[in-house]
């Protein structure tokens, strides 16, 4: 079964220039040299980036060949269209395209005679009001977490992704949530952290992204896979990504806001 050892991913700091690329590392068996597409577009000012690489087998060095000869196009349902410019290291960037809430964005990648396409609709912005500090004592040890303060819009299906940084270092968890049981409610769930500890004096940044259902499913499945393996109860598999043609990775359109707080 195909299962990525590393997707150098973003959708939209997956991190290349702030919020444009994320790193995803998974264990797998031998696989073909699949194309990996990592791209994001957001409501923040561009440029936006798409990175193209190929996978390698697990018994090979983790040096992922970049793709330099592709044609990469991003367009939307209102007539915007742009051919991206190759920069370096498999990265292609926009020049003039601007992400706008509510629009549907199409990605087309043409390489080596094959075409890969993906589509993502940018959700409306859900306002991030502030950040709160929560301190809990467990087994005599005080733990600090961060609670994003926002109100979920009532009657709409909403999906969220949270990116946390401590003193500029990004936590490596893929923290996503939905409003299945919290529709119209004020958020009561802190950001989940995996690799970083929050201590007094730290500067903590939390980016809240409103994502579409397909992006949520991708990261939710990725989390289940990471928690799987022996004793985990989840069979390793590639997360569903909505990219036609068999490519791996993700293309995501999202809205983004970031708040910062200092831990006393």
Residue 62 has a pLDDT of 59
> In terms of pLDDT, which residue wins out, 214 or 17?
214
Does residue 19 have a pLDDT over 50? no
Is 219 exposed, middle or buried (CB count within 10 Å of its CB: 0-12, 13-18, 19+)? buried
Instruction: Spell out the residues 6+ positions from residue 193 whose beta carbon is closer than 8 angstroms to its own.
Output: 145, 164, 171, 173
> In terms of pLDDT, which residue wins out, 229 or 201?
201
Is 113 exposed, middle or buried (CB count within 10 Å of its CB: 0-12, 13-18, 19+)? exposed
pTM of the model: 0.82
For residue range 212-238, what is the model confidence (pLDDT) as tens digits?
999 999 999 988 877 654 444 444 457
Instruction: Give the range with max mean pLDDT: 24-33, 228-237, 241-250.
Output: 241-250
> In terms of pLDDT, which residue wins out, 58 or 178?
178
- Report how far residue 37's alpha carbon sits from residue 51's, in angstroms, rounded to the nearest whole number: 6
- Report how far residue 236's alpha carbon sits from residue 66's, in angstroms, rounded to the nearest whole number: 25
Residue 137 has a pLDDT of 80
For residue range 160-196, what is the model confidence (pLDDT) as tens digits?
999 999 999 999 889 999 999 999 999 999 999 988 9
Residue 237 has a pLDDT of 56
Residue 65 has a pLDDT of 87
Domain limits, the chain: 6-122+231-255
Kindly indicate the confidence band of residue 32, based on its pLDDT and cuts at 50, 70 and 90. low
Kindly indicate the confidence band of residue 64, based on its pLDDT and cuts at 50, 70 and 90. confident
Tell me if 50 sits within 8 A of 106, measured CB to CB: no
Percent of the chain with pLDDT over 70: 80
3-state secondary structure (DSSP) of residue 245: coil
- Report how far residue 172's alpha carbon sits from residue 165's, in angstroms, rounded to the nearest whole number: 9
For residue range 74-112, what is the model confidence (pLDDT) as tens digits?
999 999 999 999 999 999 999 999 999 999 999 999 999
Region 128-157: mean pLDDT is 92
| Pairing mode, strands 169-170 and 175-178 | unpaired
- Report how far residue 134's alpha carbon sits from residue 12's, in angstroms, rounded to the nearest whole number: 28
Closest C-alpha to 178, from 167, 202, 162, 198: 162
Closest C-alpha to 90, from 41, 38, 48: 38
Instruction: Spell out the residues 6+ positions from residue 239 whose beta carbon is closer than 8 angstroms to its own.
Output: 217, 218, 219, 221, 222, 225, 250
Instruction: Spell out the residues 6+ positions from residue 18 whose beta carbon is closer than 8 angstroms to its own.
Output: none
Residue 20 has a pLDDT of 46
Mean pLDDT of the chain: 85
Does residue 126 have a pLDDT over 70? yes
């Amino acid at each position: 079964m195909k299962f990525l050892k590393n997707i150098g991913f973003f959708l939209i700091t997956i991190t290349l220039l702030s919020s444009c690329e994320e790193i995803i590392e998974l264990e797998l068996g031998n696989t073909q040299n699949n194309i990996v597409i990592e791209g994001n577009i957001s409501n923040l000012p561009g440029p936006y980036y798409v990175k193209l690489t190929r996978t390698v087998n697990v018994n090979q060095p983790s040096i992922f060949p970049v793709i330099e000869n592709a044609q990469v196009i991003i367009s939307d349902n209102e007539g915007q269209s742009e051919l991206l410019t190759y920069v370096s290291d498999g990265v292609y960037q926009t020049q003039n395209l601007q992400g706008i809430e509510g629009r549907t964005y199409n990605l087309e990648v043409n390489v080596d005679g094959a075409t890969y396409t993906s589509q993502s609709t940018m959700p409306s912005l859900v306002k991030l009001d502030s950040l709160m500090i929560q301190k809990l004592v467990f087994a005599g040890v005080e733990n600090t977490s961060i609670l994003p303060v926002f109100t979920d819009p009532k009657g709409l299906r909403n999906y969220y992704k949270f990116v946390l940084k401590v003193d500029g270092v990004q936590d490596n968890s893929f923290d996503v949530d939905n409003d299945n049981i919290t529709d119209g409610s004020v958020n009561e769930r802190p950001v989940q952290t995996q690799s970083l500890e929050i201590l007094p004096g730290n500067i903590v940044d939390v980016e809240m992204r409103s994502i579409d259902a397909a992006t949520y499913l991708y990261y939710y499945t990725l989390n289940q896979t990471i928690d799987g393996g022996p004793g985990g109860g989840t069979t390793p598999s590639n997360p569903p990504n909505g990219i036609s043609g068999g490519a791996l990775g993700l293309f995501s359109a999202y809205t983004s806001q970031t708040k910062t707080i200092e831990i006393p």
